[in-house]
Structure 1
Amino acid sequence: MTMMPRRSWLTRNVLAIGLASLFSDISHEMATTVLPAFLALEIRATPLALGAIEGIADGLASFFKLIGGWLTDRMGRRKPVAVSGYVVTTVATASFALAGSWPVILLGRALAWMARGWRTPARNALLADTVSRDAYGHAFGFERAMDTIGALVAPILALSLLNAGASYRHIFALALIPGTLAALAIALFVSEAKRSPQPPRTLFAEVRHLPRPFFLFLLIAGVFGLGQFAPTLLVLRATELTGRPEMAMALYVLFNGTQAASAYALGTLAHRVGSLNVLGASYLGFALVAIGFAYAEANTPLLLLLFALAGLAIGGIEAMEPTVSAELLPASARGTGFGALGAANGVGDLLSSLLVGALWSAYGPEVGFGFAALMNGVSLLLLWLWRGQLMSPVQEVTLSQPRSSERPR
């Protein structure tokens, strides 16, 4: 198979959406980098306050992904939903600069994450709508790579500003600049094809009308999500093993760098070998990481290998899950489908980190990371068992039109 010509997928829309992800991640990650210190040193908030802020915000983000996906399909428009999400996320994050108590931070973070939730399925639907089916892996891999590069740049930028004399409040205010650039990238440079609004249906009625193969995939992704714990647990495990926090942070930088590089590379590979194959390999890679951390010792080469493999696996997962979803969803239901995937991932992230952390605390890392590996293995088994159904033709769901047929690899 020949390589897809670069120009066939790197359109103005794809580039603009990638830049929006880059700038938006720089914006909110700048704030996130200094937020714990700001809460502890200036607001004098307790760890419980930080936990409440992050937990409530993450929960709202998951719910609003579902709302935003349904809304973009219901309106027949993607761009207004996406732009509004970028604008509100930016303004709400910058509002931290005015906070005098932690409940104000909670309000701003909750609003920012709600908006981040409702914009994500609209952005993903825009991306899927703008390229051909064979280019999904390229486009989603590129977007995820740009997002991760933003996550790499933001802490460096925030720490550089602190060293230059900026205060925490200055950094929150300066986060307006990249956040505004993100909103402008979508508003000015992304074009949207006209589509008709969908017939009036409730959110849950819309979800029930999603294709059955997508529901099977959602179940697979949900089971895997129960074992996809937060990467901060890897940092904690490395700190525990080495006794050197600076080593653990350096390993985390390796993780982010590998993730950024692999997201695009594996998205490109999916065009050749198939998105389900790349996703399965990524699930397997993360399962091996969990097993490795269950029994790891203070061995620097082994830790380097495990963190690099974790970045490789997460890069593939974050690029391939929306790619497979786009292959399984009709265009008219992509917003709702991406919202359902985002909600399932959000709930899985919350439960997995809680379960792995609790099992680790109660019975040791072998049990905590072993549970994660078990969930990863079950999801791999389901992916293999249901592979044939996940390759069923995609059908366009409308009330008056026949369904069109295409087959994902």
Structure 2
Amino acid sequence: MQNASQGPVAPSRPRPAIPATVWMLGFVSLLMDVSSEMINNLLPLYLAGGLGVSALAIGFIEGLSVAIATVTKFLSGVLSDWSRRAKPLAVLGYGLGALSRLIFPMAVTLDQIVLAKAMDRVGKGIRGTPRDAIVAAVTPPEIRGASFGLRKSLDTVGGFVGPLIAVGAMLLLAGDIARVFWIATIPAVLAVVVLILGVREPEGERDVKRPDFRLADAFRLNRAVWAVIALALVIMLARFSEAFVLLKSLEAGFSPAWVPLSMVVMHAVYGLTAWPVGVMSDRIGSGGLLLVSLGFLLGAHLVLAFAGTVWIFLLGTVLWGLHMGFSQGLLGAMIAGATPDALKGSAFGTFNLVTGVAVLIGNTAAGWLWQSAGSAMPFLVGAGSTLAAMTCIAIGRHRFFRT
């Protein structure tokens, strides 16, 4: 029986449900990622085998694509904060991505591939920041990690389904990569349709009274935001493009038609862990989970460096997927939690700009190391960079991050 002197016990507040808008954005990401993975899993093989492009050039193209996307993300984020309209920018970004799908199957030169990749990455840059800003705007703070984790999990379902479709199409179409690229246009168009019909601008975002936005404000982010950005910079230097993982699969014994299977495994692990890890981060903080994620990345680099069989290679992709699941949603939630509402677009844009520069450097360096010192060297250097990132988190987590 309750002690009367203690007074009534306040009922515990139930955790709010993840908003429908987050689910719809997750399905939009899923469809676009199906399309992207169908292309991206076969593109390194097409470049190396069909066009005779070197590993250094592939690394530079991958890095440049990400850099283009991230510069665009920064501009898109600033524009989102200035206009207080996120959905139109997201529609434009996904629309450009869908249009780029029409170029890939018709491309017969490296210049045309670069054009298609640039258009796709500009679209990705435009859509990423306003999409994340919408998720942050509609989500209560106590389930922010779960919401970002859910969107990432749905996104990675696309990363699981896309390579499966690519494998099936390659087998049915006798390895005709161009025809597989045509099939990839279908989910991209569906993503745009779902976004237009199923996602609404956050209520009150346009009418709420806020201080006038100034461009200089986009660079006046607080210390906590810059701490997360600095941490992400170190992590991105340690993790280069999965294009090199795909190239490594050929050395491990995969035939070209089965190469996308490695990404099926990676994204299955990624998708299964991102949401639970996001929920966990809401309860115990992010610093320790990021350390665990880098432990997985360290293991992935070391295993892939010496992978000489299919099974050892698949172990490396599992570890890489665990790293992605334990890190990607967390960084977005950390940015959202550290940023004032009026500057969320700018914060995500700056975050993506800085990490994009790191990816450009890391991918170009990985391509040069692969070409000059062998396929193991990029992964060994990546392992060293991962140890440096783990040291940074171990030193700074109690100072900058909730643990």
Compute the TM-score of the two structures, normalised by the length of structure 2: 0.82
1:137·1:268 contact (CA, 8 Å) conserved in 2? Answer: yes
Which of 208, 214, 233 is matched with 1:201 structurally?
Answer: 214
**How many Å separate the matches in 1 of 2:48 and 2:371?**
25
**How many Å separate the matches in 2 of 1:261 and 1:168?**
29
Tell me which residue corresponds to 2:86: 78
Q: Number of residues paired by the alignment?
A: 384
SS at match of 2:102: helix
- Range that drifts further, 276-285 or 189-198: 189-198
- The 1:239/1:92 distance shift into structure 2, 3 A limit, reads closer
SS at match of 1:47: coil
**How many Å separate the matches in 2 of 1:350 and 1:4?**
46
Tell me which residue corresponds to 2:9: none
- Range that drifts further, 187-196 or 19-28: 187-196
1:14·1:127 contact (CA, 8 Å) conserved in 2? Answer: yes
Give how far 1:208 is off.
2.1
1:28·1:90 contact (CA, 8 Å) conserved in 2? Answer: no
Letter in 2 for 1:16: M
Letter in 1 for 2:316: L
**How many Å separate the matches in 2 of 1:10 and 1:100?**
45
1:325 aligns with 2:335: yes
1:222·1:348 contact (CA, 8 Å) conserved in 2? Answer: yes
- The 1:237/1:157 distance shift into structure 2, 3 A limit, reads closer
- Range that drifts further, 253-262 or 94-103: 94-103
**How many Å separate the matches in 1 of 2:384 and 2:395?**
16
1:315 aligns with 2:322: no
**How many Å separate the matches in 1 of 2:45 and 2:248?**
22
Which of 251, 254, 274 is matched with 2:285 structurally?
Answer: 274
1:69 aligns with 2:77: yes
Give how far 1:164 is off.
4.8
Tell me which residue corresponds to 1:233: 244
Which of 359, 364, 369 is matched with 1:354 structurally?
Answer: 364
Letter in 2 for 1:316: F
Give the structure, 1 or 2, with the largest relative contact order (CA under 8 Å, sep 6 or more).
2
Sequence identity percentage: 26
**How many Å separate the matches in 2 of 1:165 and 1:360?**
31
Give how far 1:215 is off.
0.7
**How many Å separate the matches in 2 of 1:353 and 1:262?**
26
Tell me which residue corresponds to 2:269: 258
Deviations 1:153-211 (A, max 9, x none): 22332444455559766554444432222123222222213245763533xx2342111
1:69·1:121 contact (CA, 8 Å) conserved in 2? Answer: yes
Compute the TM-score of the two structures, normalised by the length of structure 1: 0.81
Point out where structure 2 has 5 or more consecutive residues left out of the alignment.
1-11
Letter in 1 for 2:212: P
**How many Å separate the matches in 2 of 1:238 and 1:99?**
25
**How many Å separate the matches in 1 of 2:48 and 2:376?**
33
Deviations 1:268-289 (A, max 9, x none): 2222322232222212321233
2:163·2:263 contact (CA, 8 Å) conserved in 1? Answer: no
Give how far 1:4 is off.
9.8
- Range that drifts further, 14-23 or 155-164: 155-164
Letter in 2 for 1:229: F
Letter in 2 for 1:149: V
1:9·1:139 contact (CA, 8 Å) conserved in 2? Answer: no
2:35·2:188 contact (CA, 8 Å) conserved in 1? Answer: yes
